[in-house]
Structure 1
Amino acid sequence: MDFKEQIDYSRLPKHIAVIMDGNGRWAKGQGKVRVFGHEQGVLSVKDIVEGCVEVGIEYLTLYAFSTENWNRPKEEVDALMQILISTINRETETLNKNKVKLNAIGNISSLPKECIDDLKEAMDKTAHNEKCTLTLALSYSAKWEIVEAARKIAEAVKDNTISMDDIDEDLFSSKLTTVNIPDPELMIRTSGEHRISNYLLWQMAYTEFYFTEVLWPDFRREDLFEAIVDYQKRERRFGKISEQLN
């Protein structure tokens, strides 16, 4: 079935968030080590980014490395950092070719220096691109992000920069790492797991969730298009009833 042909381009989600899950299980199924699954997962990232550009998705956010992932075996963490570095360096030219801007959210300062330097360089080189913004959530935790936002607001109140009466949802959102990114309309999680794993908790208050059994290394743009079609079949009411939307 050609899901791309079924997409209603007047009702595209502006922002899609993805939890890329299943690399380890995929590798195990192939009789390979977990790192092999992560390496193959990069191919899926490349295809999904190009798929978003192809159909006109303006924002794509990928949960690449959580704060909890630091608890994995050191060998796997080191390999993930090297995969990140090599992928950034290899794909920056392609991002520019496709007019994709690279962005990053999370506790970036906790990453290895080489990773931080290469990431910043790639972000600078792609900063002028406007077709799609690719955001990598790295060393990211939604709870961490919310606490950091609360801390910033508390400091501003203490310094008399703002008053207690100034605090509202818009102010809080402005202190998050996603300040210049619209909230996602659609979140996709691969591998059959049905949870959001400390990901964009504030931003996904009204997000539609799409769960698929497909493991991340097998996920391709046709799977992305299927998720978009499924999203477009849903009625987003934001607390209203159906009759109020017609």
Structure 2
Amino acid sequence: MPRHVGIIMDGNGRWAAARGMPRSFGHKAGVEAVRRAVRAAGELGIEYLTLYAFSSENWSRPAEEVHDLLGLMKFFITRDLAELCANGVRVRVLGRRDGLAPDILGLIETAEGRSRDNTALNLNIAFNYGARDEIVRAFQRLAARQAETGGNVGDIDEAAIAACLDTAGLPDPELVIRTSGEMRLSNFMLWQAAYSEFVFLTCMWPDFDKAWLEKALEEFASRARRFGGVSAAKEIAL
């Protein structure tokens, strides 16, 4: 069982189009899939779940769709925070915060503050998030620290960079899942996913449930994770 699972939630628009409905219909159905995913992760014993909810590139979508997505983010936090806290879920939001509307920023801070001491499941929501932007901001933090402390370039290592990422203090995801059949990362956790296993599911995100999560976990369990080395089975075969 992986400790940390990341999910690229994809396919809301195509799911809605297949039903002759607007994209907003698919996004609303996608929120229900989020609820199912969070509950399933808790039931299966996953410690960390990171959901790619809104990328920094999503701002380029039509204004009406962006408005709907932001509204659903606010609706999810407002409606579900009490249940999440009751179930011991800690909420953490990854991504750039400067420039966010005050009401959204306030909800994010409330969710993180109220759930800070929960330990059953760590739910990370990647919102206004892009991995390249995250890495740039990490190096900006490092540069500021170097200027303050008078450190030198030789002091910078992987641990120093990781400590400045949005995911500081979190384990890297062992498994990254993407729905809808697309096979790309789309600027999601580029640093953290260096040794992740990838599972690409054919289901659209609104259809995602515990059975699909279990299917991905079964695929993960069947793989030998070597981290650049050679597995014991391979050595025996040689």
Shorter chain as normaliser: what TM range? over 0.9
Superposition pairs for residues 120-159 of structure 1, below 5 Å?
120-159=109-148
What residue in structure 2 maps to residue 167 of structure 1?
A: 156
Q: Pairwise CA RMSD of aligned residues?
A: 1.3
Offset, 1:144: 0.4
Tell me, in whole angstroms, the C-alpha distance in 1 between the residues paired with 2:99 and 2:188: 18
Q: Relative to structure 2, which stretch is displaced further, 70-79 or 157-166?
A: 157-166
Structure 2 residues not aligned, in runs of 5+: none
Tell me, in whole angstroms, the C-alpha distance in 1 between the residues paired with 2:101 and 2:15: 27
Tell me, in whole angstroms, the C-alpha distance in 2 between the residues paired with 1:121 and 1:159: 31
What residue in structure 2 maps to residue 67 of structure 1?
A: 56
Tell me, in whole angstroms, the C-alpha distance in 1 between the residues paired with 2:18 and 2:67: 23
Superposition pairs for residues 26-45 of structure 1, below 5 Å?
26-45=15-34
* SS of the residue 1:110 aligns to: coil
* SS of the residue 1:193 aligns to: coil
Aligned residue pairs, count? 235
Whether 2:205 is the aligned partner of 1:216: answer: yes
* SS of the residue 1:63 aligns to: strand
Identity of aligned residues (%): 42
Tell me, in whole angstroms, the C-alpha distance in 2 between the residues paired with 1:171 and 1:103: 21
TM-score (ref. length: structure 1)? 0.92
Offset, 1:86: 1.0
Q: Relative to structure 2, which stretch is displaced further, 44-53 or 122-131?
A: 122-131
Superposition pairs for residues 1-246 of structure 1, below 5 Å?
12-243=1-232
1:173-200 deviation per Cα after TM superposition (whole angstroms, max 9, x unaligned): 0010100211000000000000000010
Tell me, in whole angstroms, the C-alpha distance in 2 between the residues paired with 1:33 and 1:94: 29
Runs of 4+ in 1 over 3 A off after TM superposition: none
TM-score (ref. length: structure 2)? 0.95
Offset, 1:160: 3.3
* Aligned 8 A contact 1:110 1:139 in 2: no
